[in-house]
Amino acid sequence: MELAILNTSGKETGRKVNLNDSIFGIEPNDHAIYLDTKQYLANQRQGTHSSKDRGEVAGSTRKIKRQKGTGTARAGNIRNPLYRGGGRMFGPKPRFYGFKLNKKVKQLARKSALSYKASTNNIIVLEDFSFEAPKTKEIIKMGNNLNISNKKAVFVLPEQNNNIYLSSRNVFGVEVVIASELSTYKIMKASTLILMESAVDVLQATFEN
């Protein structure tokens, strides 16, 4: 499919870019998107939660009453999880939430996500631009020109650009990522995907390899 290349003013430049149908026009696989998104969110979890079991809480290990003849249930020490101040039964412990996902599944998921955006006309191709210094108002102005203000938008750059990143950092709903770090989660979360012209080549070269 072909998309017109826009400038930062939101006007067509007269040039077009061809998006590879094997990347932007496949039949989306919802399960692959689910798995890749699940792995991404699992990897964000620190997994540092921890609670104390009966062997870790403070308290005496003395048997609090005799075993028989009290008319009540037998009891050990005050660290028993049934007592207030005792340890916690089956409480959380530090763990890693991530899991393995095959490379081909992740690639299929990103292609599916890109195809969804392309089929709903939520991809904008923008000519390459840069800022001499960080300017938040320039990003806001660009958003108004592209009709993406008050929407979740992801700018996809071919490589790291600190001035663009710093300019967009305080703008609500705007995120900047480089093409090699574009994830399925970020694609699906965005209302509009804004690809810089040279980032299209990087994306297509990544998937072709």
For residue 2, list its beta bridge partners. 18
Q: Average pLDDT, stretch 182-197?
A: 93
Most distant CA pair in the chain, distance: 94
- Across the range 10-39, mean pLDDT stands at 92
Domain extent listing, the chain? 2-42+100-208, 51-91
Summarize pLDDT for 138-179 with one digit per residue, the tens.
999 998 998 888 889 999 999 988 999 999 988 888 999 999
pTM to 2 decimal places: 0.83
Phi, psi of 55 (to 5 degrees): -85, -5
pLDDT tens digit string along 92-149? 999 999 999 999 999 999 999 999 999 999 999 999 888 889 989 999 999 899 888 8
Q: What is the CATH number of domain 2-42+100-208?
A: 3.40.1370.10
- Whether 209 has a pLDDT exceeding 80, the answer reads no
